[in-house]
Homo-oligomer: A and B are copies of this chain.
């Protein structure tokens, strides 16, 4: 089943203890699309400037990603410059240029209208909601957000949360959103505000999913417990950028490829999320995501199982 994703397609300049990358293809929608493309059909809605050439588009097309929803306008693409020199777990933003994103108003091509899955990557919640409204009949909607929207655009974000099946954010964002320093209490508050499931990403410690009874009606017993998926201990994290978007891509891509969304497929999806995140950080930018095979992905899935299972 096809996933429609709306989010940023951008250029990043990144500095980490492993080296630097200048103006490489990046952005949440790019990372998400590449990761999800190993599991299902992906369609992108985004806006780019004249610096996004046929070469960049080819990176997505080679993975079978449908780029007809990428709007090309005059000017430059979204640009972000960040450093992980002080802390590999937290980017220091050195420069952000919204550029063509400043006036972006997403419209959905007719060819995308039958998408059954929708991912609202981390952008202005007003844009997320605009896309959500245009896709009223999708089977499942997942979304992401970040501190900036939680702090300064809470009312708009709350409208988005109401329409989500699953929200994927990190620990700090979950605690900030719920204004509670305890993750379990924070998760309960967030689930009460809209999403039927909450996936909290812990970086090198994996991720935890929390469920409301509304996600799997009739299966409340089996999903009242949270679920914890591991991350792969890595001896080098070359570039952590996009790991969360690749988690979301692996997670949602796997779910969209399954006949049914059940507690069991949801758990497997959590593992595939961790797997794609672990590949993402092995190289700068989207490099590692461009040339994987499904066999490599499934081998690593088996590794995640061995790493965390008693037998």
Q: Give the interface of A toward B (CB within 8 A).
A: 88, 181-185, 187-188, 202, 204-206, 208, 210, 225-230, 233-237, 264, 267-268, 271, 303, 305-311
Question: Once the chains are docked, how many angstroms separate the CA of A230 from the CA of B229?
Answer: 9
Question: Across the interface, do A303 and B225 meet the contact criterion of CB distance under 8 Å?
Answer: yes
Question: Across the interface, do B307 and A184 meet the contact criterion of CB distance under 8 Å?
Answer: no
Question: Once the chains are docked, how many angstroms separate the CA of A235 from the CA of B185?
Answer: 6
Inside 8 A of A188's CB, which chain B residues have their CB? 235
Question: Once the chains are docked, how many angstroms separate the CA of A208 from the CA of B311?
Answer: 16
Given known A-B contacts A225-B306, A264-B310, A309-B310, A88 and B181 have beta carbons under 8 A apart: yes
Inside 8 A of A308's CB, which chain B residues have their CB? 227-230, 308-309
Question: Across the interface, do A233 and B181 meet the contact criterion of CB distance under 8 Å?
Answer: no
Question: Across the interface, do A233 and B205 meet the contact criterion of CB distance under 8 Å?
Answer: no
Q: Please state the number of chain copies in the assembly.
A: 2
Inside 8 A of A268's CB, which chain B residues have their CB? 310
Inside 8 A of A234's CB, which chain B residues have their CB? 182, 184
Given known A-B contacts A264-B311, A310-B309, A233 and B88 have beta carbons under 8 A apart: no
Give 28 CB contacts A-B under 8 Å: A88-B181, A182-B236, A182-B237, A183-B233, A184-B233, A184-B234, A184-B235, A185-B235, A185-B236, A202-B205, A205-B205, A205-B206, A206-B228, A208-B233, A225-B306, A226-B307, A227-B307, A228-B230, A228-B307, A228-B308, A229-B308, A230-B308, A268-B310, A271-B310, A305-B310, A308-B308, A309-B309, A309-B310
Inside 8 A of A182's CB, which chain B residues have their CB? 234-237
Interface of A is mostly: mixed
Q: In the complex, which of the residues A202, A230, A306 has the most CB atoms of chain B within 10 Å of its own CB atom?
A: A230
Closest to A187 in B: B233
Question: Once the chains are docked, how many angstroms separate the CA of A136 from the CA of B308?
Answer: 34
Question: Once the chains are docked, how many angstroms separate the CA of A52 from the CA of B77?
Answer: 70
Question: Once the chains are docked, how many angstroms separate the CA of A206 from the CA of B225?
Answer: 16
Closest to A309 in B: B309
A14 smallest CB distance to B (angstroms): 18
Inside 8 A of A235's CB, which chain B residues have their CB? 182, 184-185, 188
Question: Once the chains are docked, how many angstroms separate the CA of A228 from the CA of B210?
Answer: 20
Question: Across the interface, do A310 and B226 meet the contact criterion of CB distance under 8 Å?
Answer: no
Question: Once the chains are docked, how many angstroms separate the CA of A70 from the CA of B178?
Answer: 48
Among B204, B226, B271, the residue within 8 A (CB) of A233 is: B226
Inside 8 A of A88's CB, which chain B residues have their CB? 181
A102 smallest CB distance to B (angstroms): 37
Inside 8 A of A210's CB, which chain B residues have their CB? 233
Inside 8 A of A229's CB, which chain B residues have their CB? 308
Question: Once the chains are docked, how many angstroms separate the CA of A243 from the CA of B205?
Answer: 18
Question: Once the chains are docked, how many angstroms separate the CA of A202 from the CA of B230?
Answer: 12
A186 smallest CB distance to B (angstroms): 10
A303 smallest CB distance to B (angstroms): 7
A87 smallest CB distance to B (angstroms): 9
